[in-house]
Amino acid sequence: MSTYPNTAATDIVTAAAADPACAEPLPVLGRDVTVPLVTGGEVTYAALDYAASAPALQRVWDDVAAYAPYYGSVHRGAGYLSQLSTDLFEQSRATVAGFLDCRPSDQVIFTRSTTDSLNLLAAVLPADCQVFVFETEHHASLLPWGDAQVTYLNAPRTPAQAVETLERALAEREPWGPALVCVTGASNVTGELWPVKELAAAAHAHGARIVLDAAQLAPHHPVSVQELDVDWVAFSGHKLYAPFGSGVLAGRADWLQQAEPYLAGGGASRKVARRADGGVDVEWHTTAARHEAGSPNVIGVYSIASACKALTEAGFEDLVARERHLIAKVREGLAEVPAVRILSLFGDDAPRVGVISFVVDGWNSSHFAAALSAEYGIGVRDGLFCAHPLVRTLLGSEPQAQGECGAPEAAPGERSLNAIRVSFGAGTPDEHVDRFVGAVRELVADGAKWQYRTEEGRCVPAV
């Protein structure tokens, strides 16, 4: 049993034993859940929507359950449970910093999600800061920048073109001043890895900073702030096998310390005093607490730290090797179905994580996804994946065309401008991807066994 040394929790809160890695998937909650099929009977649910939200690792759940009876409000509490929880909370911060290989001067701020983290960073931008973001980004990276001058860069077709496009845009910016580049580490649509280190070098060469959206990268690959030389990194617990409502923004402290708190309130303030004129003077913290006002989500934070430890102990080398095996199975299986077209920016040989989007000739994507669920017990996602410009570019439609996330835009059997996404990770067994590939083949060859209808924007089995 591993423990948490050097905290008040040492004798009380213990972690589950390290999970086996390599050939076997990591144990996750829900791995034995069965679901009904419209055609009769039940089947073990195949969760293949990890890119939206990954199931909790069993290790994370066990750690949270072990701590839960000792939960207390953190910071300034005199009681034993409060002190224990404070120790655990701050140790979790150190664990996350180690997981990300942060610089000694970096701050780790706990948020609600990647979206919240990027909105926080948007709120602390210096005056006249320009933002550069590719149209290929998730909406969490495309949309938070408020009144800043934003340059949206066209989708590149190679990693090298991405770097060239960014260099040219930064060199031509007017006026010259502070700038921020926001880029994903792995696409939530295609799974392709982006040249983060090269983009960071280009940004710094042109006097800009860079934030890495690691929501899809951190669950699959190690992320080193120092090796990649990024200024900030953001990710969510719910994609890192810790779905308990917390996220992370980690990186350079200066912009964070110089800005007003993201939220004003208790915890962010160090001193508050009345003035003679009846108002109040506030001295804000300069630590991470400056942007963590209110009672923090201690269990969410602790679950992220537990997931970081579990993945590190399992070994990313083994996890990556196993995921490549699953990726090859899916891509090779889909390639044998002529009606299937896999969406890609950088081509078939591009390195990627376990996220694959595709369309099927003659099928509405919502109809196809509904059939996978209702007839095979397989959970995938359909729609535009909160990356509308990218998906529409990949589908060959007008980039300006609008669409609604997840909603079918045509009746079953009619063409629609959305896609199907299958995604998997450390908890996915081979049987799930084998069943998925087999189901795709059967649906394309034989059609759905059931009738479907559109209800409130979703394709559902007709009763």
Which residues are annotated as catalytic? 386
Rounded Cα distance, 63 and 334, in Å = 38
Rounded Cα distance, 123 and 180, in Å = 13
For residue 209, list its beta bridge partners. Answer: 180
The DSSP line for 50-115 is TTT-PPPBHHHHHHHHHHGGG----SS--SHHHHHHHHHHHHHHHHHHHHTT--TT-EEEEESSHH
CB 101 within 8 A of CB 225: yes
The alpha helices in 210-347, defined as continuous H runs, are 225-228, 254-258, 298-314, 316-335
CB 91 within 8 A of CB 7: yes
Rounded Cα distance, 220 and 317, in Å = 10
CB 454 within 8 A of CB 373: no
Rounded Cα distance, 134 and 187, in Å = 11
67: number of Cβ within 10 Å? 23
- Count of residues making up the chain: 463
In degrees and rounded to multiples of 5, residue 155 shows phi and psi of -65, 125
Element (H, E) at 131: strand 130-134
**How would you label 109-125 residue by residue, b for 16+ Cβ within 10 Å and e otherwise?**
bbbbbbbbbbbbbbbbb
